[in-house]
Amino acid sequence: MEFLHRLIFAGDAELLAMIGAGLVLLGLLANYMERRRVRRARIDQVGWVPWLSLFMASTLIGGGLLMIAVPSILRG
């Protein structure tokens, strides 16, 4: 319940930081899945998800949001 209360009354910088952290975590998951896809046992089972593109986009956007939000959070 405390987390929900903190989420409702969070400032813009805190919301940007949470979204950025979530996108960076999604990028880490996509990076893991891309490595798993490259090291697959059967070369003919490629898959259809563009993991590298998801990794690049989510990490870039998440890192940018964190770069915007962290200085504001540190200032108070």
Cβ 23 vs Cβ 62: under 8 Å: yes
Per-residue pLDDT, 54: 97
Q: What angle do CA 59, 60, 61 make, to 5 degrees?
A: 95
Per-residue pLDDT, 1: 80
Torsion sign (Cα): 50, 53, 30, 57: negative
For 6-43, write each residue's pLDDT tens digit: 778 878 888 999 999 999 999 999 999 999 999 988 88
For 48-65, write each residue's pLDDT tens digit: 899 999 999 999 999 999
Q: Which amino acid is at 16?
A: L
